[in-house]
Amino acid sequence: MKVAFLGTGLMGLPMAQRLLAANIELVAYNRTPEKLAPLAAAGAQIVTQPRQAIRSAECIILMLSNAAAIYHVLLTDTNWHTLSGRSIIQMGTITPIESQEIRDAVVAAGGEYIEAPVIGSIPEAETGKLIVMVGAESKQYQRHLPLLQHFGSEPLLIGPVGSASSLTLALNQLIASLTTSFALSLAFVQLQGINIDLFMQVLRDSKLYAPTFDQNLQRMLDGNYANANLPTKQLIKVTDLFISEAKALGLNLNSIEGVRQILQSAMQMSRPEDDYSSVFPAIREWGDASGE
């Protein structure tokens, strides 16, 4: 099978590299051509237009920034007509309604569509340890399982299209909320003069502990937010998607809306491309920033 990979940003690049490492024939497209250089060096066919990638492959993987980008790359009048007989695997984070609408458009063009969004960051993408959640029919899941296993060893069938997108939003809400909560406790302990190692020892031995705390601890202590595993701007994007979907369900959103404000402050204090652990100075230095 020849695979087209559309979208080779922070996550897409290492995912595409894993396919090449498995000797899968790959054709790649990215809006920013410079990001394709490592794939070209590894043997991928590089194209300058998405339709060239779509026409040359039986399976098209999408790792694009949002639904608007998917429509622009996949569902223009020119490209939509090339989808007949092809399988589309959408692996980015979008809302369930967006995923279902894209599925309907793909099916109307004579193609098939499944969603397979992921949880994890760059290290997991590089090592094939992403959590892959699949929204599809059972037969579709089984057919594409060998391909998806290059990204994570145990892709999970969640349910029909839309269900995996919903679950991804729920988990991303936890990423944002857990990280800001940990940053708040860490800042409090620091300012109270409590030994950080003792704080972490107690935390690790408790049922409150989550591995993401250790993943972010050293960045927060060092103030080193460059070379992001997950950029703050990306986490704000998916948080906004969650808020939009949860609002339609009538849920109380006070907690996540507060988290969203902290993420926005972090982006203003540093750079949008910095790692999301930069919520720490946005919390710790809040008094200084607000003139208190």
| Region 205-231 average pLDDT | 96
> Is the Cβ–Cβ distance between 120 and 128 less than 8 Å?
no
Q: Over 50: is that where the pLDDT of 292 sits?
A: no
- Residue 47's pLDDT is 95
Q: What is the pLDDT of residues 11-22, one digit of tens each?
A: 999 999 999 999
Classify domain 165-288 at the CATH class level. mainly alpha
> Is the Cβ–Cβ distance between 241 and 95 less than 8 Å?
yes
Q: Over 60: is that where the pLDDT of 66 sits?
A: yes
How far apart, in whole angstroms, are the C-alpha atoms of residue 281 and residue 275? 12
Cα 172–Cα 176–Cα 179 angle in degrees, nearest 5: 130
Domain boundaries along the sequence of the chain:
2-160, 165-288
- Residue 291's pLDDT is 46
Q: What superfamily does domain 2-160 belong to in CATH?
A: NAD(P)-binding Rossmann-like Domain (3.40.50.720)
Q: What is the pLDDT of residues 239-269, one digit of tens each?
A: 999 999 999 999 999 999 999 999 999 999 9
